[in-house]
Amino acid sequence: MVAAGADISNRDNPFNSTALSWAQHNKQQEVFDWLRAHCAIDLHDAVCFDLREHVHARLNEDPASVNRRIDQWDVPQCTPLHWAAWLGIEDVDGLHSHDETRREELVRFLLQKGADPNIVAGNGLTALDMADACGATRIAALLQQHGGKRTTESAKRSQHPDA
């Protein structure tokens, strides 16, 4: 289907997921590896799955895409930085964690490429809020060093855990 022109970045489904996302989620490693090797993986997926070669390629092709907002999985109108700040990745076996050091490198790279740490996603969260939510303290500190702010609602929740 890819050879016939299928759009592998299409997210027109209830889960806002691409073919690559479905392959990862369902542990279809051969499909995932084939797509990675033969297709231009979009920046959001490349960040989510830590595919550095695709992150670099997409930013070289379109530097402004670093702040592109799309619906990715369960976070509407988010940027790649939102997902770089998030440590979790899910598949059919449950939630797994990315290595925070590698994610911190990715966040740093996106910030160097012009990522705006204060874009608020459609769920009302900034990348700093996302880092806080998953306990990524080093990423949160890095985002703050680059001017990242918490949203009002997120700041209230962190001050009042019962809220």
The predicted model gives 116-140 an average pLDDT of 97
pLDDT at 156: 47
Which of 95 and 147 is assigned the larger pLDDT?
Answer: 147
Tell if the pTM clears 0.95, that is, is over it. Answer: no
CA pair distance 79, 120, nearest whole angstrom: 9
The predicted model gives 22-45 an average pLDDT of 95
CA pair distance 96, 90, nearest whole angstrom: 6
Q: Which of 58, 135, 49, 119 is nearest to 84 (CA)?
A: 49
For residue 134, pLDDT over 80 is answered with: yes
Domains in the chain and their CATH numbers?
A: 19-159 (1.25.40.20)
**Burial bucket for residue 54 (CB in 10 Å: 0-12, 13-18, 19+):** buried
pLDDT at 15: 86
User: Mind listing the pLDDT tens digit for each residue in 80-114?
Assistant: 999 999 999 888 888 889 999 999 999 999 999 99
The predicted model gives 65-92 an average pLDDT of 94
Which of 4 and 145 is assigned the larger pLDDT?
Answer: 145
pLDDT at 89: 87
Which of 73 and 114 is assigned the larger pLDDT?
Answer: 114
